[in-house]
Structure 1
Amino acid sequence: MLTDRAIPQSVRQEHDPLADPDWQEPEAPVERLSWLRLGILVLVLAGLGAGSAATVLHLRDTAGPTAKSWAVPYVDVTLTPTFQFQDPKANPANDVALAFVVADPKDGCSPSWGGAYSPDEAAASLELDRRISQLRSAGGNIMLSVGGQTNTELAVACTDQARLTDAYRQLVRRYDVKTLDLDIEGTAVADQASLRRRALALAALQAERESAGQPLAVWLTLPVTPNGLTADGLGAVRTTLEGGVSLRGVNVMTMDFGSQQSSHPNMLELSTQALESTHRQLSALYLRLGVQLTPPQVWSRLGATPMIGQNDVDAERFTLDDARGLASFAVEKGLGRVSMWSLNRDARCRGTFTNVVVHSNTCSGVTQEALAFSSVFAGLPGSAVGMSGRESVTVPNQESIVDDPTTSPYPVWRITAQYVNGYKVVWHGVVYEAKWANKGVDPSAAGDASNPTPWSVIGPVGPTETAPRPSPTVTGVTVAWNPATLYARGERVLFEGLPYQARWSTKGDAPSTQYPISPDEPWQPLFTVPGEPVTN
């Protein structure tokens, strides 16, 4: 999903029927569970929509898929430039998977975004909480993805079971998520101790949420080969189930197959082969654990995540035709989920030549229109339990809201002000950010292809927010501005407690307090205001 994710070109299969995609169900009775393991599985299966007291649970076969495929593309939250997933002009998807929460490098039991931001820091620096609120207010929602290829997942870093459980609990409560995605990669897939810790923590959290009437769905995201999950990957699923987790599904990363058979491998064929193989493996695994699922029920517990465009393996490119084929496959089979890595990459690379391999986190490396892959998958018919299921994200009409400068976290938009790229304003109760320099363009006005809006919608103003507090960039200014004094260029004064410097000789012109302060004003502010872009 991230760069450098390539799966080894050859994966050794153990002599275990669960690791063999060609293994067929035996005619003899399956191995029975111990009473302890059986008790755990009964609890697990309560979340699978099946009910029986028998050791082997038989579910009635039904025609057709049991789920509508849910489109939930990934967003790399900490990647620069920030992807405005909450803005319908930038994101056609209804729901998104925000990635990645990992262990804080200084405290392995504390969650962080990409090892760089605590949740509070992400709210302040990335406007993450506000952007989530905006997406939800417009009918969308989020899934939270924990782990990834880079950095260290919480269960690997944190060996204190109570603190690990609390770390997951903090995330679920803070972001009010209904679905957690555990992205397990690299050595973590075979780390048995961390797999058991993670399962116990998630099972405890699911029990808490179920008691509160707020059930929590859990997905495992794992590497895959055309022959299915690796032995370690299949073991991770089994350990998770045996640990008491009600597993919503297994999402396989249909990417970076390490293709050697062709200079132009068929990525759709490899992806569907991987899904078919994983389907057989999961059918066998559930049967071994005492659960007989119908083929459609297994498909509804499977997800696929391709890396759009150029993969980490040079020969592998997942094209728009591949995306359309996967979307059709998902609908035909009733695949529970289709994601993609990532929304940040869903654009053509600039300044590159055709057929030149481009590995980038911010573009796909193939010829495409912006958001073309997202648009293909956004047409899938499903949604997660508890999600709105709306077909597109819209911005609520808030024209009746009158902005109060004393409760607005950024300056209120003014029609006469000149705004630079990155400047944030408040307008009709919503925070907007300038995509490029502009003046006199209403942030709430809709744009179109011929006349795009220069503003991105960030999210709603919260009920407890206050006016921005300017931060002086100099010290030692003590002389108050006097309307009767003639000031020479470069002289400094205080006005309403803030320092200014004369741009030219001036008398009687009070320093401006309307932000942003125009360069035509005689007094240059010697302070910064929240909302101004950070410049180096």
Structure 2
Amino acid sequence: MPVATDRPDTRRTREPGTPPRPLVVLASILLATGTGTAIWLLPPRAQGEWAAADRIEPRATPSGPASTTTAEPSPTPAVARPSGFVTFVDAVREPRFNLSREARRSQVRWFTLGHLTAGQKGCVPKWGGLQEQGGNPVANRLAPLRAAGGNAGLAFGGPTGRELASACSDLARLTAAYRRAIGAFDATYIDFEVHAPTGEATVLRRARAIAALQREAAREGRSLTVSFTLPVTRTGLSSGDQAMLRATRSAGAEIAAVNLLAPVDSVPGSGGRLRPIASAVRAAHPQIARSLGESAAWNRIALTPVLAGSGDLTRLEARRLAAFTSRNHLAWLSTRGAALSPGITRFLTGATR
């Protein structure tokens, strides 16, 4: 005989398709345990290794609508002027450097190839002053890079050898020499790296050649971006370099950017290795603005710290450098000297894009 009770019936029949309650509890425990393990296994950066107020993360590329079919990505058109992070390549000392492979590995889209200086004949630019233009294996690998959406410019001058404008005293021949180099590599960007003081005649000759080439490019519907790479100190640019920029602009040449070479101290001071670089850029800004006839010229300043060793730029310093570049809207960022680690290069590429 059934025993009467006033307890509610908690063992009613389950709805069809509902799992037993003990299984639900067990699944919840397993899910929580698995989630904790997965979080613990994440790499350090995902757990906030770089979590800071001035963090600059690589910018994600917006994705399009979902598609059920997978198509081969079409090549991205190469842009005409440098931006983001630019890798400098010494095309003479690194003949095996593969541009397209490095672009895939580090995501860098822009390279600068140097240096073209005067050969024995004076008015003929050669790689390092010795190697024929068409004989450099690095420069001859430009086609695959551009097919993948990257690009590279040419650097004239540099720390060694004779600058072309100094060695070639005839304006027409100098202009023709620059024109041949630009045409040989289909360059849309050229840089003039000036270290040694140059006379007024050399400055004017170079400026007139640049202005003529830019006018030719405009008539033909092409672009020709020109920059100057100059050393900078805590007081900014030298008076001679400021006068050179003014004279070049007065001759009708358009200077898109002034790339500042700033050495990184091997032994950091109380403010770290980057503070002197920031001070040098701030000191150079009004000088560059006046030289280019602008009230402000932050977006016409590029920055290139020169590293003595690969350890001269830590991840923390790379983050701060990228933040400084983005915050001040600099034209682009690059490095010289010792090679960066692949991880830091990829970070700078994404953070400054």
* 1:162 corresponds to 2:172: yes
For residue 346 of structure 1, the aligned residue among 318, 328, 339 is 339
Q: Hey, what does 1:328 align to over in structure 2?
A: 323
**CA–CA distance in 2 between the matches of 1:95 and 1:86?**
11
CA apart distance, 1:89: 5.0
For residue 114 of structure 1, the aligned residue among 123, 128, 141 is 128
For residue 199 of structure 1, the aligned residue among 207, 225, 228 is 207
Q: Hey, what does 1:307 align to over in structure 2?
A: 306
The answer on whether the counterparts of 2:304 and 2:334 sit within 8 Å (CA) in structure 1 is: yes
The answer on whether the counterparts of 2:266 and 2:308 sit within 8 Å (CA) in structure 1 is: no
Higher relative helix content: 2
Partner-residue secondary structure (3-state), 1:340: strand
TM-score of the superposed pair, with normalisation by structure 1: 0.48
Structure 1's unaligned 5+ residue stretches are 1-66, 348-369, 383-536
The answer on whether the counterparts of 1:155 and 1:164 sit within 8 Å (CA) in structure 2 is: yes
The answer on whether the counterparts of 2:261 and 2:305 sit within 8 Å (CA) in structure 1 is: yes
State the percentage of identical aligned residues.
30
The answer on whether the counterparts of 1:99 and 1:145 sit within 8 Å (CA) in structure 2 is: yes
**CA–CA distance in 2 between the matches of 1:69 and 1:119?**
25
Counterpart amino acid of residue 117 in structure 1? Q
Deviations 1:399-421 (A, max 9, x none): xxxxxxxxxxxxxxxxxxxxxxx
The answer on whether the counterparts of 1:68 and 1:381 sit within 8 Å (CA) in structure 2 is: no
Q: Hey, what does 2:287 align to over in structure 1?
A: 281
The answer on whether the counterparts of 1:346 and 1:374 sit within 8 Å (CA) in structure 2 is: no
**CA–CA distance in 2 between the matches of 1:135 and 1:149?**
27
CA apart distance, 1:374: 1.9
CA apart distance, 1:108: 1.1
**CA–CA distance in 1 between the matches of 2:259 and 2:346?**
20
Q: Hey, what does 1:374 align to over in structure 2?
A: 345
CA apart distance, 1:317: 3.7
Q: Hey, what does 1:268 align to over in structure 2?
A: 274
* 1:240 corresponds to 2:248: yes
Q: Hey, what does 2:163 align to over in structure 1?
A: 153
**CA–CA distance in 1 between the matches of 2:265 and 2:161?**
22
* 1:182 corresponds to 2:192: yes
- With over 3 angstroms needed to count, the CA separation of the structure-2 counterparts of 1:144 and 1:73, relative to structure 1, is same
**CA–CA distance in 2 between the matches of 1:292 and 1:219?**
16
CA apart distance, 1:80: 4.0
For residue 139 of structure 2, the aligned residue among 115, 119, 128 is 128
Deviations 1:167-198 (A, max 9, x none): 110111111111111111123xx432211111
- With over 3 angstroms needed to count, the CA separation of the structure-2 counterparts of 1:273 and 1:266, relative to structure 1, is same
- With over 3 angstroms needed to count, the CA separation of the structure-2 counterparts of 1:68 and 1:221, relative to structure 1, is closer
Partner-residue secondary structure (3-state), 1:238: helix
Counterpart amino acid of residue 98 in structure 2? Q
Q: Hey, what does 2:16 align to over in structure 1?
A: none
* 1:101 corresponds to 2:112: no
**CA–CA distance in 2 between the matches of 1:381 and 1:174?**
30
The answer on whether the counterparts of 2:115 and 2:127 sit within 8 Å (CA) in structure 1 is: yes
The answer on whether the counterparts of 1:303 and 1:338 sit within 8 Å (CA) in structure 2 is: yes
Counterpart amino acid of residue 85 in structure 1? L
Partner-residue secondary structure (3-state), 2:253: coil
TM-score of the superposed pair, with normalisation by structure 2: 0.71
The answer on whether the counterparts of 2:228 and 2:259 sit within 8 Å (CA) in structure 1 is: yes
Deviations 1:332-356 (A, max 9, x none): 11101111115xx425xxxxxxxxx
Partner-residue secondary structure (3-state), 2:330: coil
The answer on whether the counterparts of 1:68 and 1:331 sit within 8 Å (CA) in structure 2 is: no
**CA–CA distance in 1 between the matches of 2:139 and 2:289?**
39
- With over 3 angstroms needed to count, the CA separation of the structure-2 counterparts of 1:108 and 1:138, relative to structure 1, is same
**CA–CA distance in 1 between the matches of 2:287 and 2:83?**
20
* 1:71 corresponds to 2:85: yes
**CA–CA distance in 1 between the matches of 2:99 and 2:278?**
28
The answer on whether the counterparts of 1:310 and 1:317 sit within 8 Å (CA) in structure 2 is: yes
Cα RMSD of the aligned pairs, angstroms, is 2.6
* 1:221 corresponds to 2:232: no
**CA–CA distance in 1 between the matches of 2:113 and 2:173?**
23
Aligned residues: 272
**CA–CA distance in 1 between the matches of 2:269 and 2:174?**
45
CA apart distance, 1:266: 2.7
Partner-residue secondary structure (3-state), 1:254: strand
CA apart distance, 1:283: 2.8
**CA–CA distance in 2 between the matches of 1:136 and 1:285?**
34
**CA–CA distance in 2 between the matches of 1:127 and 1:133?**
11
- With over 3 angstroms needed to count, the CA separation of the structure-2 counterparts of 1:68 and 1:331, relative to structure 1, is farther
Partner-residue secondary structure (3-state), 2:256: strand
**CA–CA distance in 1 between the matches of 2:202 and 2:350?**
37
Deviations 1:264-301 (A, max 9, x none): 77321111111111112123334xxxx443x3xx1111
- With over 3 angstroms needed to count, the CA separation of the structure-2 counterparts of 1:318 and 1:243, relative to structure 1, is farther
